[in-house]
Amino acid sequence: MPQRLQTLRGESARVYFAYDNPAEIPAKESGWTRFVCLSDTHSNTHWDKDGRMPRGDVLLHAGDLSRWGHVRMLKKTIDWLGNLEGYGSKIIIAGNHDVSYFSTDSSELMNLITIKLWLDKANEEELARVDDEQRAIALKECEEMMDKARLKERGLTYLEFEETKIGVSGIKEWAVYGSPASPRYSEGSFQYSTKEEAQEINSKIPHLTEILLTHTPPYGTLDKTRKDKHAGCKNLAKLLLSGDLSRCRLHVFGHIHEAAGVMIIPATERTPERVAVNAALPRKGQPIVVDLAAWEIDKQQ
């Protein structure tokens, strides 16, 4: 059944979702920046078939690039994103599914490897069962694929607990921060278990961040599971409400597939209007388009 384009409008934001054809989406307003948001594609690459993905100034992918971290699965996604045209910048992070794991049968080595950090103890035990040569080959293959300079050549910026700045048509330079972390759930990478770990991770987010890219949702925002439980990060939610991120105007995440959607959170005395996007696209749906006015916070007040 055909879908009718749905729109949310805020003081400084326009959001477009649930469309059949990207041509239905109006052109962005003069002086605004268009962000195209997706997450949790899990090695699926059919989203742009027949040109059905909208184009924009910035493409944002909020993690779970692969189904289970296989080098070949990750490569499929990186090749797809690297070949996508029509974006001034393409920024990606990892997620808990971008994990390290090897088959115990060396004849069926799955070539699963973490993108970089925080291997679970169980995964370390599995890695220890693979001979050093096989492990070295897989590590080298993944490291070469995710080398920042090589990704840059393909128009991709990979963020792992770090920030970048992106300029858009000489109109504005946006401060972007990316974190692949999420509260521990079963096996996976980039997960934390304690309040102290959450605090340490989220304290790295610069105060001047304008575009926040995390794999986890904040607690209470587009994070309900099928069991009707909130699964987001409480510490991150507290941080967003505190006013410490007083310039954050767009927060893109994923992780909880069934909670995919978008909302505009009104401004408060301490925080600006913020668009929250759960951009998870495990099998179906469309990327969510967010247009932001490119003024500085100081000019708004």
Do 64 and 42 form a contact (C-beta atoms < 8 A)? yes
On the CB side of 70, CA atoms within 13 Å amount to 10
| pLDDT category of residue 296 using cuts at 50, 70 and 90 | low
pLDDT the model gives residue 288: 96
Q: Tell me, yes or no, whether 11 lies in a domain.
A: yes
Residues 120-156: tens digit of each pLDDT: 444 555 555 555 666 667 667 777 888 889 999 999 9
Low-confidence winner among 9-13, 124-128, 225-229 (lowest mean pLDDT): 124-128
What is the identity of the amino acid at 90? Answer: K
> In this structure, what CATH number is given to the domain that contains residue 183?
3.60.21.10
Does the pLDDT value for residue 231 go beyond 80? yes
pTM, entire model = 0.86
C-alpha gyration radius of the chain: 19
Do 134 and 106 form a contact (C-beta atoms < 8 A)? yes
Q: Tell me, yes or no, whether 80 lies in a domain.
A: yes
Cα separation, 135 vs 116, in Å, equals 14
Higher pLDDT, 134 or 290: 290
Cβ-Cβ contacts under 8 Å for 156 (sequence gap 6 or more): 78, 81, 82, 90, 91, 92
Does the pLDDT value for residue 115 go beyond 60? no
Cα separation, 191 vs 177, in Å, equals 18
First-to-last alpha carbon distance for the chain, in angstroms, is 44
Q: Tell me, yes or no, whether 180 lies in a domain.
A: yes
Q: Tell me, yes or no, whether 1 lies in a domain.
A: no
| Mean pLDDT value of segment 244-271 | 94
Cα separation, 192 vs 185, in Å, equals 9
Cβ-Cβ contacts under 8 Å for 181 (sequence gap 6 or more): 161, 190, 191, 192, 201, 214, 215, 216
pLDDT the model gives residue 161: 92
3-state secondary structure (DSSP) of residue 136: helix
**Which letter does DSSP use for residue 194 in this model?**
S
| pLDDT category of residue 111 using cuts at 50, 70 and 90 | very low
How many other CB atoms are found less than 10 A from the CB of residue 265? 18
Cα separation, 262 vs 276, in Å, equals 6
Does the pLDDT value for residue 6 go beyond 80? yes
**Which letter does DSSP use for residue 149 in this model?**
H
Residues 197-217: tens digit of each pLDDT: 999 999 999 999 999 999 999
| pLDDT category of residue 103 using cuts at 50, 70 and 90 | very low
Most confident of 43-52, 175-184, 201-210: 201-210
Does the pLDDT value for residue 300 go beyond 60? no
Cα separation, 145 vs 140, in Å, equals 8
Q: Tell me, yes or no, whether 78 lies in a domain.
A: yes
| Mean pLDDT value of segment 4-19 | 94
Cα separation, 210 vs 173, in Å, equals 10
pLDDT the model gives residue 121: 40
Q: Which tokens belong to 131?
A: 């001979």
What is the identity of the amino acid at 58? Answer: V
Instruction: Report how many domains make up the chain.
Output: 1
Cα separation, 181 vs 96, in Å, equals 7
pLDDT the model gives residue 25: 96
Q: Tell me, yes or no, whether 68 lies in a domain.
A: yes
**Domain limits for position 93:** 6-300
Cβ-Cβ contacts under 8 Å for 149 (sequence gap 6 or more): none
Q: Tell me, yes or no, whether 167 lies in a domain.
A: yes
User: What percent of the chain is modeled with pLDDT above 70?
Assistant: 81
Q: Could you write out the DSSP letters of every residue in 90-113?
A: EEE---TTS-----SSGGG---B-
Q: Tell me, yes or no, whether 124 lies in a domain.
A: yes
Low-confidence winner among 96-110, 170-184, 265-279 (lowest mean pLDDT): 96-110
Does the pLDDT value for residue 117 go beyond 60? no
Cα separation, 239 vs 179, in Å, equals 14
